[in-house]
Structure 1
Amino acid sequence: MTWVIGISVAAFIAMGAPIFVALLVAASLALLLFPGPPLLALQQTIFGGLDAYALLSVPFFIFAGELMAISGIADRLINLVRALFGRLPGSIGIAALGGSTLIGTICGSSAAAVAAVGRNMYPQLIAGGYGQRRAAGIITSSGAIDIVIPPSIAMILYGASAEQSIAKLFIAGIIPGIVMALLMAGYISISAYMARIPREANFRAQLAWTAFKQASWALTMPAFVMVGIYAGFFSPTEAGGFACAYAAFLGFVVYRTVTFRGLLEAAVSSAMMTARIMIVVAAAGVISWVLTVEGIPQALIAATTDAGLSPLGFLLTVNLLLLAIGCVLDPTSAILVLAPLLVPIAVSLGIDPIHFGVVMTVNLAIGMFTPPFGLNIFVAQSVLGVPTSVIYRGVLPYMAVQISALALITLIPALSLWLINGMS
């Protein structure tokens, strides 16, 4: 049965079918060709896979991100980073990176960050002497951090499929996300210095203070969300609802940049994106159920034990697997299909499932801008209007930087677990 599922999924994806179609057809073929559960169980499992309270937070955070995008928040966050680091080599590139990272603390959507930062910063990067290749590489790769920094939709889906605490996953992603951002900022600065890209004006306290005041309302939102979750004031799902209300308040009352028409368009866009995610959740739930009924996770655990893999050997093997899969599948599909299979093996080897969730998310974040099919590449190509060949060359150095960050996060579990252990 396993080979039927694997071949079917690969064949339909190769033919260009949507991932949910490939998963549902593969599960249907497996149930039809092999004796076992009745085909009637398929529809029951589809709806049962969506019956998870944690998944309610997904549309909330998506809607909050859409509201923040149309409120002009991205411009204010980018201006703040630029005012703080204007004197450093590569300051405009660091501003693009910092703006993308801060946007990630609001909406957790990599594609949204690439689109928002790309429209604002690409012309400025070109004018600053970065060139098409370097500018496209910075914008395309920076967005990957957004699915690691909380609140992360990818981690919500991992928590739901692996039955782990979403609150712990959120806090576990803080330090790894910062590590990824710092390594990228260091590379941007060094490469800009070596390329003799002109610096911006010296740091001015008054300019930085003005930029901070303009961005302060936006900066308080992730702080409220994270403190509210860990202080026990609300669950991650309720935090998503709070984020929506707060984003609407900023758009309508504080900045006055959101109209009722804009609100309706954001709601429609959020509903469409939520539908795309949830149909994959339902289809992946069917595949996971079929594989579980057939005892595939247990067989994989036994095979891993027989192979004598150490925890580190398993993590390195998983890294290679996920880096390859991440450039073909989006993080949502990869997490929902692979987490139910890989997490039991990780736990059987003594690997903390929270740490494993961070490692898995970082791998798939890198896949977001890995040629040839990384989603951010196509978003950037659409927004920036540059050939994909230019983007391919631009992201290669940042792949190396982020793989270095992945190595640190994999080898040092404390980067993921230190904050959690400190709060327990």
Structure 2
Amino acid sequence: MGDIGTIMMIGLIVLLALGVPIAFTIGLLAAVGIWMADINPMILPQQFVAGSNVTSLLAIPGFILAGELMSAGGLSRRLVRVAETFFGHLTGGLSMSTVAAGTFFGAISGSAPATTAAVGSIMIDELEDRGYQRGYAAALATAVGPLGQMIPPSIPMVIWGVLAEESIAKLFLAGIVPGLIAAAGFCVVSVIYARYRGVAREARATGREILFALRDGIWALLAPVVILGGIYSGMFTPTEAAMVGALYSAVVGLFLYRDLKWQKVPSILMSSMRTTATIMFIIAVAYGFAWVMASEQIPARLTEALLLLTDNPIILLLILNVMLLLLGAVMDNISAMVILSGVLIGLGQQIGLDPIQLGAMVVINFAVGMVTPPVGYSIFVASSISGLRVETVARHIWPFMLVLVTVVALIAYVPAITLWLPEKLG
């Protein structure tokens, strides 16, 4: 790998172990790499700017703002109510309602932590009141978070599309079937848990209650239709769809539902700006780090090293997925994608993976990392909302992790899972 590559890899492991924030870690290592390679230091800030100066990345602030406006505007609460009227009377119905609400909200927010926060803040107390363990409720809210990164629109899919220069719209389509399979698996877990714990069924909603929930929630239900329908009808690009989603959320929250108050708008804008700034800072410095690695041919050498282990594509896929899951459990997924994009794209080409399948596999592996101990961010979000220790939430999450790992395996070994919709609608 060379002295520079070795020092950068060791430095990355050591600094992360010491708890240095990921953005500062990779920024510092990029500067060290530039200095050791005797490259003009002005290259580094130029690469930082180049990494963030990509038009498609404008979708990120739009989807973040849309998700925050949806939560504050009462759309997520109405989605939960609609889900309850259809699933509440079934065994494990309230748990399945949580999954359905997470699936719908995931089709708006594009973010795992945002989905966990929106659904968990409404459903954790409700589930506990209806006989579910609080730890299970928090784990369920954590588990539905990755649906926000599988079901389009997805912020990580946007980032991978930019990195790999692949169609963002096709990547969005590639996440739909895995997301629905994961949601179905969570529903199976819900039924098994409810039967094992003897959770009582809710009364079946009357036709009047269903009609009221649908009429009250119609604008929330239309949000994914507006965003995704606009993209796939060709009316606007994914970047424009993000802005349309934010505008739609604001109009519905302020003027139709009126749950969103004007005095809250500045704080929502500031919160969205802080989140966007954090993500863009990570992308910028990670792009500089990745450029230093590429200039030292580190991705190519790592790819060659992996191929020396075996040339069996089945074994290589297993190694790749285990590596992605482990990295997703200890690293920020955005910076990991930027840093490893060269290695992953090269490896995918070597073993004949379709680029869209590879993109979906990478993004969904890292989405699973968001709920994987020890540092899965969605676990910390659910812990904060529920008031439970992280260890308690992690102890209850293993059935949902089993579902998510099964989905990852299907994506790797059954290409149609991710490629059927893009090929059908592409």
**Identity level (%):** 35
Q: SS in structure 1 opposite 2:44?
A: helix
1:181 alignment counterpart: 183
1:322 alignment counterpart: 324
Q: Quote how far apart the aligned CAs of 1:46 are.
A: 0.7
Q: Quote how far apart the aligned CAs of 1:150 are.
A: 0.5
Select 2:27's aligned residue among 20, 24, 28.
24
1:353 alignment counterpart: 355
Q: SS in structure 2 opposite 1:44?
A: helix
Q: SS in structure 2 opposite 1:327?
A: helix
Q: 2-side partners of 1:227 and 1:339: how far apart?
A: 30
Q: 2-side partners of 1:329 and 1:207: how far apart?
A: 45
Once the two structures are superposed, residues 144-163 of structure 1 have per-residue CA deviations (whole angstroms, 9 ceiling, x without a partner) of 21111111001111111111
2:160 alignment counterpart: 158
- Contact map agreement 2:108 2:223 (CA 8 A) in 1: yes
Q: 2-side partners of 1:205 and 1:217: how far apart?
A: 20
2:254 alignment counterpart: 252
Q: SS in structure 1 opposite 2:161?
A: helix
1:88-127 matches, cutoff 5 A: 88-127=90-129
Once the two structures are superposed, residues 315-364 of structure 1 have per-residue CA deviations (whole angstroms, 9 ceiling, x without a partner) of 21111011111111122222222223211220232101111111112211
Aligned-residue Cα RMSD (Å) equals: 1.4
Q: 2-side partners of 1:212 and 1:288: how far apart?
A: 48
Q: 1-side partners of 2:193 and 2:222: how far apart?
A: 33
Using the size of structure 1 for normalisation, the TM-score is 0.96
Once the two structures are superposed, residues 26-67 of structure 1 have per-residue CA deviations (whole angstroms, 9 ceiling, x without a partner) of 1111121234x3222111111111111110110011111111
Once the two structures are superposed, residues 121-165 of structure 1 have per-residue CA deviations (whole angstroms, 9 ceiling, x without a partner) of 111111111112221211111112111111100111111111111
1:16-415 matches, cutoff 5 A: 16-35=19-38, 37-415=39-417
Q: Which runs of 5+ in 2 are unaligned?
A: none
Once the two structures are superposed, residues 72-118 of structure 1 have per-residue CA deviations (whole angstroms, 9 ceiling, x without a partner) of 11110011111101221111111111111211111112111212222
Deviates more, 1:308-317 or 1:334-343: 308-317
- Contact map agreement 1:300 1:345 (CA 8 A) in 2: no
Deviates more, 1:148-157 or 1:338-347: 338-347
Q: 1-side partners of 2:259 and 2:268: how far apart?
A: 13
- Contact map agreement 1:326 1:363 (CA 8 A) in 2: yes
Q: 2-side partners of 1:417 and 1:39: how far apart?
A: 43
Q: Quote how far apart the aligned CAs of 1:308 are.
A: 4.1
- Contact map agreement 2:76 2:220 (CA 8 A) in 1: no
Q: 1-side partners of 2:16 and 2:301: how far apart?
A: 26
1:2 alignment counterpart: 5
Q: 2-side partners of 1:236 and 1:382: how far apart?
A: 32
Deviates more, 1:77-86 or 1:194-203: 194-203
Q: 1-side partners of 2:91 and 2:411: how far apart?
A: 27
Paired amino acid for 1:190? I
Q: Which runs of 5+ in 1 are unaligned?
A: none
Q: 2-side partners of 1:22 and 1:383: how far apart?
A: 29
Once the two structures are superposed, residues 197-216 of structure 1 have per-residue CA deviations (whole angstroms, 9 ceiling, x without a partner) of 11111243332222122111
Q: Quote how far apart the aligned CAs of 1:306 are.
A: 4.1
Q: 1-side partners of 2:349 and 2:405: how far apart?
A: 24
- Contact map agreement 2:85 2:204 (CA 8 A) in 1: no
Q: What is the number of residues matched between the two proteins?
A: 423
Q: 2-side partners of 1:333 and 1:193: how far apart?
A: 41
Q: Quote how far apart the aligned CAs of 1:305 are.
A: 4.3
Paired amino acid for 1:17? V
Paired amino acid for 2:22? I
Paired amino acid for 2:235? F
- Contact map agreement 1:311 1:351 (CA 8 A) in 2: no
Q: 2-side partners of 1:211 and 1:293: how far apart?
A: 57
Change (3 A) 1:377 1:421: same
